[in-house]
């Protein structure tokens, strides 16, 4: 049985990595998937993958950091039953290696982008009698990770916004949860390794893989399965929580 058949799902950053895997699984489970992404090529590839399996997908090219763009896109979609706040960017560096421009860039996408999507979608969900929200936090929200000053700041904000929204909109039949992956093998990870550790790519990939006690990075499809559960009615009793999906990173790294 399809768990989210005929639901309308908006996935930000659905053109790559975790967002693509979530979009593909939601499409296969019968949802009408709407992707909001900056990257047209990536979004087109996700749409093609969904449609090749008989699913429904529309893409909206836009920037989650720009509130009016997000509002206009959500107005065009109309009904939204599920929001996956997934678009995000990385920055590697401790406080002294986080310039104002770096801090602002991460804030604009990871924090303000998530706020913009929530701001646009919540009224639509209220009008429609409810919905489910999933926010992509990270282990960096709850564990001190080296050289992730701005990124940790942004994911801590996701963790807290999730609680606030879950509390305020419970009365409107809106559930909100977050998930906190450890390293998942996506272009996001390959990109920051290439940018920050040139010439040491293999060594860093191995090091990051082994930082999960389970000995490897997660796969986007594994994150998508948890996302599906939390956004479906199977999780009707679950709101205001964060779910690590981390190969033992938080509790078994000793
Ligand atoms: N990969 C990991 O190890 C990992 C771990 C924990 C949390 N996360 C979080 O999961 C989410 C997805 O990560 P991923 O690894 O799949 O990343 P990714 O880089 O593979 O994909 C991110 C997508 O977001 C889009 N995007 C970026 N900025 C945007 C903007 N301003 N407006 C619209 N779209 C934008 C990109 O074009 C891309 O398609 C992020 O929030 C990330 O912080 C990832």
CB of 218 closer than 6 A to ligand 1? no
Task: Inform me whether the pLDDT recorded for 22 exceeds 80.
Answer: yes
User: What pLDDT does residue 205 have?
Assistant: 94
Mean pLDDT to the nearest integer, 39-59: 98
CA 189 – ligand 1 centroid, Å: 10
Pairwise pLDDT comparison (164 vs 254), residue with the higher score: 164
Nearest to 232, CA basis, from 19, 24, 31: 31
> What distance in Å separates the CA atoms of residue 113 and residue 102, rounded to the nearest whole number?
15
Q: How confident is the model over 125-148, as pLDDT tens digits?
A: 999 999 999 999 999 999 999 999
User: What pLDDT does residue 3 have?
Assistant: 87
User: What pLDDT does residue 30 have?
Assistant: 97
CA 63 – ligand 1 centroid, Å: 13
Of the pLDDT bands very low, low, confident and very high (cuts 50, 70, 90), residue 188 is confident
CB of 13 closer than 6 A to ligand 1? yes
CB of 113 closer than 6 A to ligand 1? yes
CB of 116 closer than 6 A to ligand 1? no
> What distance in Å separates the CA atoms of residue 252 and residue 115, rounded to the nearest whole number?
32
Instruction: Tell me whether residue 191 is exposed, middle or buried, using C-beta atoms within 10 angstroms of its C-beta: 0 to 12, 13 to 18, 19 or more.
Output: middle
Domains of the chain: 8-189+219-246 (3.40.50.720)
> What distance in Å separates the CA atoms of residue 61 and residue 53, rounded to the nearest whole number?
22
For tokens 């479906």, the residue is 232
What is the C-alpha R_g of the chain? 17
Would residue 151 show up in a list of annotated catalytic residues for this protein?
Answer: yes
Contacts of 43 (CB under 8 A, 6+ apart): 14, 15, 35, 37, 59, 61
User: What pLDDT does residue 253 have?
Assistant: 92
> What distance in Å separates the CA atoms of residue 211 and residue 120, rounded to the nearest whole number?
37
Beta-bridge partners for 175: 132
User: What pLDDT does residue 128 have?
Assistant: 95
Q: How confident is the model over 70-113, as pLDDT tens digits?
A: 999 999 999 999 999 999 999 999 999 999 999 999 999 999 99
Share of the chain above pLDDT 90, in %: 94
Q: How confident is the model over 149-162, as pLDDT tens digits?
A: 999 999 999 999 99
Mean pLDDT to the nearest integer, 195-223: 94
For tokens 């310039």, the residue is 99
Top mutation candidate among 186, 220, 222, 244 for ligand 1, by most atoms within 8 Å of CB:
186
User: What pLDDT does residue 196 have?
Assistant: 85
For tokens 């490897």, the residue is 216
Of the pLDDT bands very low, low, confident and very high (cuts 50, 70, 90), residue 69 is very high
Nearest to 164, CA basis, from 174, 179, 153: 174
Instruction: Provide φ and ψ at 108, rounded to 5°.
Output: -60, -40
Tokens of 31: 């949802």
CA distances 110 to 25, 66, 85, 171, Å, are 23, 12, 9, 27
- What global pTM score does this model have? 0.97
> What distance in Å separates the CA atoms of residue 88 and residue 13, rounded to the nearest whole number?
7
CA 38 – ligand 1 centroid, Å: 11
């Amino acid at each position: 049985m399809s768990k989210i058949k005929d639901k309308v799902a908006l996935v930000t950053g659905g053109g790559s990595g975790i967002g693509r895997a979530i979009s593909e699984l939601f499409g296969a489970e019968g949802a009408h998937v709407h992707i909001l992404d900056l990257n047209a090529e990536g979004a087109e590839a996700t749409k093609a993958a969904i449609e090749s399996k008989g699913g429904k997908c529309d893409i909206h090219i836009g920037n989650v950091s720009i509130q009016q763009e997000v509002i206009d896109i959500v107005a065009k979609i109309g009904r939204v039953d599920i929001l996956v706040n997934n678009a995000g960017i990385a920055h590697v560096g401790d406080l002294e290696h986080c310039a104002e421009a770096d801090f602002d860039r991460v804030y604009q996408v990871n924090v303000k982008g998530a706020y913009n999507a929530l701001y646009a979608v919540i009224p639509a969900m209220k009008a429609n009698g409810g919905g489910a929200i999933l926010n992509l936090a990270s282990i960096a929200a709850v564990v001190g990770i080296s050289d992730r000053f701005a990124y940790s700041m942004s994911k801590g904000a996701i963790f807290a916004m999730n609680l606030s929204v879950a509390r305020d909109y419970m009365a409107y039949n809106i559930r909100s949860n977050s998930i906190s992956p450890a390293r998942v093998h996506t272009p996001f990870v390959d990109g920051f390794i290439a940018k920050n550790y040139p010439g040491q790519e293999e060594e860093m990939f191995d090091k990051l893989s082994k930082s999960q006690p389970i000995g490897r990075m997660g796969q986007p499809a594994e994150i998508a399965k948890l996302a599906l559960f939390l956004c479906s009615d199977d999780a009707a009793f679950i709101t205001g929580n964060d779910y690590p999906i981390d190969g033992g990173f938080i509790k078994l790294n000793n």
